[in-house]
Amino acid sequence: MPKPVYDFRSDTVTLPTPAMMEAVARAPLGDSGRGDDPTVNELERIARELTGKEDALFLPSGAMANLASVLAHDCRGGEAIVEEVAHIYNSEGGGLSVVGGAVPRPVKGRYGTLEPADVKSAIRGAGDLALAPTRLICLENTHNASGGTVMPVATMAAIHDIAREAGIPVHLDGARLLNAGAYLDVPIAEICRHVESVWFALCKGLGGPVGAVLAGDGAFMTKARRAAKMLGGGMRQAGLIAAPAIVALKDPYPVLRRDHALAQALARGLAAIDSSLVDLAHVQTNIVNCFVDRFAPDAGAINAALRERGVLANHRRSKIRFVTHYHIDEAAVAAAVRHFAEVLEPFRKAA
Ligand SMILES: Cc1ncc(COP(=O)(O)O)c(C=O)c1O
């Protein structure tokens, strides 16, 4: 019998469910570049309703949604305030600058949440000719690198007040925005109220195969549609990939809350092996960051040993990241904890 594989590398590894595949087979299609694909149009209608924004656009990826937003917000030659380890700054190949022309101004957050006062003091006006003026404030909710942590709505509102006073738009990388909504138990429109542009991924916790939807109002979206077309984001019979996303968006919170509960169980299991491994207070959604510093300066060997046993995760320096998703269940969590305890034992003895 083949050895079971427990894939915790990301919530992007999910495969479409049978209901999603049936929806693909039934989806009415057309040339979405001409507004003729009824399935894409329906997905965009749902996204408008969910976000409370005037317009929404289906795009092939989240990175493209970020780029189209930076271009549409006219950031070239100006600064974009970003959290220090935000995905848009730290994990998108420098596209913010290379394509968007923006100078990133990293600000250190606390578990991914920026302090409104820190944002305020990072804003640069246009008065001093030596400075690149602030053109955009970028937020990320949930915050991937911090372990899927959630930025409170009140903090977003406070940052939005500061931004409005300074005449600067706020952009939200909401790759896992529905995870944030499920955690906070609010409709995502409550979160989106505090930003001018927002996108959420369809291919992460939601389980769709491809894409993201970018949403915003009036003139911003006119520019974003042009920018996306320029970036190569114009699609044709894209209903094929929009149809599974529509299925996923029917009632997403119970599915995501199940992922969150499994992440809690995994985090508690790891913490029971050694309390230094996990910061339990900050496991909020579907990501568990496990820190092995006490046992090894680099997590590579531990992660490789886990992989040998069929437990797949990502690592960077002394951190191993586990992500729960549709194909992870209680048995996978129990197996991961058991294998982790066994793999750690020699490192524990040597430490
Ligand atoms: C927070 C965050 N932003 C942006 C992205 C990029 O999304 P995509 O892979 O769809 O380009 C990711 C991908 O994992 C992400 O986690």
Helix (H) or strand (E) segment spanning residue 267: helix 252-273
Asked if omega into 134 is within 30° of 0 (cis), the reply is no
Pocket test for ligand 1, best of 87, 150, 176, 231 (most atoms within 8 A of CB): 87
Ligand 1 proximity of 149 Cβ (cutoff 6 Å): no
User: Looking at the structure, do residues 35 and 140 belong to the same domain, yes or no?
Assistant: yes
CA distance 20 to 252: 13
CA 176/CA 202 separation, integer angstroms: 9
* Confidence check: pLDDT of 1 > 80: no
Residue of higher predicted confidence among 98 and 351? 98
From the list 106, 114, 104, 105, the residue with the least C-alpha distance to 140 is 114
pTM of the model: 0.97
The answer to whether position 8 is within a domain reads no
Pair (229, 293) in one structural domain: no
CA of 126 to the centre of ligand 1 (A): 31
Domain boundary among 215, 248, 281: 248
CATH number at residue 220: 3.40.640.10
Q: Supply the range of the domain harboring residue 66.
A: 18-248
CATH code at position 311? 3.90.1150.10
Q: Based on the domain organization, do 86 and 180 belong to the same domain? A: yes
Same domain, 201 and 331: no
Over residues 198-214, the pLDDT tens digits come to 999 999 989 999 999 99
Report the sign of the C-alpha dihedral through residues 270, 273, 276, 280, in that order.
positive
pLDDT at 330 over 80: yes
Q: 218: closest CA among 69, 74, 54?
A: 54
Contact assessment for residue 175 and residue 201, using Cβ atoms and an 8 Å cutoff: yes
Contacts of 168 (CB under 8 A, 6+ apart): 123, 134, 135, 136, 137
- CA-CA distance, 69 to 198, in Å (whole number)? 8
Q: Is 140 in the pocket of ligand 1 (CB under 6 A)?
A: yes
Tell me how far apart the terminal alpha carbons of the chain are, to the nearest angstrom.
36
Q: Among the three residues 248, 268, 293, which one is the final residue of a domain in this structure?
A: 248
Mean pLDDT across 151-160: 98
Q: State the chain's mean pLDDT as an integer.
A: 97
Residues 268 and 129 in one domain: no
